């Protein structure tokens, strides 16, 4: 049995992928602004750091149909957000209080 513990309590990745060929991509849905908002909210709430929360950029997570996409580990919960209010809710409910935001879950069948 592994003794390893998770370095971060929650780790959220935002797809920031940009496609130039016209195909769907998260960058076309304000992914960068959402990432920036998440980072600033996590910091403002004192949630950033080891044992707490880490916010990271990611490339394509291969679920572009559900974009814009963010995924939270260790639970592996996938979110499709729309605006800044959605990001604030993910931060407060999930990252701060451990409660999944059901209304923002990416539909399970949506892939690339």
DSSP for residue 105: B
User: Binder to ligand FES among 10, 12, 13, 15 (CB under 6 A)?
Assistant: 15
The candidate with the shortest Cα–Cα distance to 29, out of 12, 17, 11, 13, is: 17
Stretch that binds ligand FES, among 33-41, 45-53, 58-66, 78-86 (CB under 6 A): 58-66
Q: How many CB atoms lie within 10 A of CB 52?
A: 15
Q: Kindly tell me which residue out of 25, 38, 70, 95 binds ligand FES, with binding defined by CB under 6 A.
A: 25
Q: Is 60 in the site for ligand FES (CB under 6 A)?
A: yes
Q: How far is the CB of 101 from ligand FES (least distance, A)?
A: 19
67 vs 77: CA distance, rounded Å: 14
Place of tokens 């879950």: 105
Which of 47, 61 has the CB closer to ligand FES? 61
Q: Is 47 in the site for ligand FES (CB under 6 A)?
A: no
* CA pair distance 47, 24, nearest whole angstrom: 32
């Amino acid at each position: 049995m592994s003794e390893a513990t998770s370095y971060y309590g929650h780790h959220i990745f935002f797809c920031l992928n940009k496609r130039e060929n016209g195909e769907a991509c998260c960058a076309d849905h304000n992914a960068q602004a959402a990432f920036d908002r998440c980072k600033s909210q996590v910091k403002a709430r004192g949630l950033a750091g080891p044992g707490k929360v880490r916010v990271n950029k990611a490339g394509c997570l291969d679920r572009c149909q559900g974009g814009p996409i963010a995924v939270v580990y260790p639970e592996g919960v996938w979110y499709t957000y729309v605006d800044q209010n959605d990001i604030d809710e993910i931060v407060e409910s999930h990252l701060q209080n451990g409660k999944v935001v059901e209304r923002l879950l990416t539909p399970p069948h949506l892939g690339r």
